[in-house]
Amino acid sequence: MLVSGAGQSRTLADGMFADRADAGRRLAGRLTPWRGSQPIVAALPRGGVPVAAEAAAALGAPLDVILVRKLGMPGQHELAIGALGERGVRVIDDHATRVAPAELETVERRERTELERRATAYRAVRPREPIAGRTVIVADDGLATGATAHAACLVARTAGAATVVLAVPVAPRDWVERLGAAADHYVAVDTPQRFSAVGEFYVDFGQVGDDEVVRILSEAAT
């Protein structure tokens, strides 16, 4: 297993990314070991798409998406209790035991509806890239709890990926321990000692909308 970025620690000032495009270009520099394996770069929408687009361009690789949705704790949406993914993937965290089955079902139904809506919008401009037997670089703009990243890696494995590389610009120091065998290789530009939220490491961390995702996927497809 290759783990890149482990053990690095920077001050907030020199650990900042200008924006997601900047983060993607810097992440691409860590992904050169896979350039010759004809990888697919699969983004987690929406924030991971601008990052993955830069990495895919640098590697000369096709850009795709893996659709996942975080399951948030009722009343505390930012606290992940799991995630849903394409191909029927479902990851449930230990925190989910604190949620009544009916409430969990409601959360899952809502997020599945949104996942299907995004699938319709994004797949209209970017049909699925064949994954079976290939190296898939799963990319996002950062990793916090790891629930959606875990689900995305499982989607890639379910689709038959030969090798799964999880790549992010920034992640907590213990991210590999959290995710275990979800991916075969882990790559990060930075794994700071102090970590509370992905956005704190970006100067510009504005929302990425559906229009931007569709535009990037359309440009990559042509």
Task: Please count the other Cβ atoms lying within 10 Å of the Cβ belonging to residue 197.
Answer: 11
Number of neighbouring beta carbons within 10 Å of residue 63: 24
Query: Can you read off the two tokens belonging to residue 2?
Result: 């290759």
Angle at 141 between CA 139 and CA 147, to 5 degrees: 75
| pLDDT of res. 6 | 55
User: Residue 31 to residues 37, 51, 138, 160: CA-CA distances in angstroms?
Assistant: 11, 13, 11, 21
Mean pLDDT of 17-40: 96
Q: How far is CA 45 from the centre of its chain?
A: 7
Q: What is the model's pLDDT at position 12?
A: 39
The tens digit of pLDDT for each residue in 33-73 reads 999 999 999 999 999 999 999 999 999 999 999 999 999 88
Q: Look at residue 93 in the predicted model and tell me its pLDDT.
A: 83
Q: How does pLDDT run across 177-202, given as a tens digit for each residue?
A: 999 999 999 999 999 989 989 999 99
The four Cα atoms 178, 156, 207, 203 give a dihedral, to 10 degrees, of 50
Confidence of residue 15 (pLDDT cuts 50, 70, 90): low
List, in sequence order, every residue forming a beta bridge with 138; answer none if it has no partner.
42, 166
Q: Which of 169, 204, 140 is nearest to 10 (CA)?
A: 169
With the CA atoms of 134, 217, 199 and 80 taken in that order, what torsion angle do they form, in degrees rounded to the nearest 10?
A: -60
Is the pLDDT assigned to residue 7 strictly greater than 80?
A: no
List pLDDT tens digits, range 128-169: 999 999 999 999 999 998 999 999 999 999 999 999 999 999
Give residue 216's pLDDT. Answer: 97
Strand runs (DSSP E) across the chain, as ranges? 3-4, 40-43, 63-65, 68-73, 76-85, 90-92, 135-139, 163-170, 185-190
Q: 3-66+130-221: which CATH topology?
A: Rossmann fold (3.40.50)
16 pLDDT higher than 80? yes
pLDDT surpasses 70 at 27: yes
Query: What are the tens digits of pLDDT across the range 73-128?
Result: 887 777 788 999 999 999 988 766 778 889 889 999 999 999 999 999 999 999 99
d(C-alpha 146, C-alpha 179), whole Å: 7
Record the tokens describing residue 178, joined without a space. 């959290």
> Considering the chain, what is the average pLDDT of its residues?
91
pLDDT at 10: 43
**Span 1-6, average pLDDT:** 69
pLDDT at 140: 98
Q: How far apart are CA 187 and CA 31, in angstroms?
A: 8
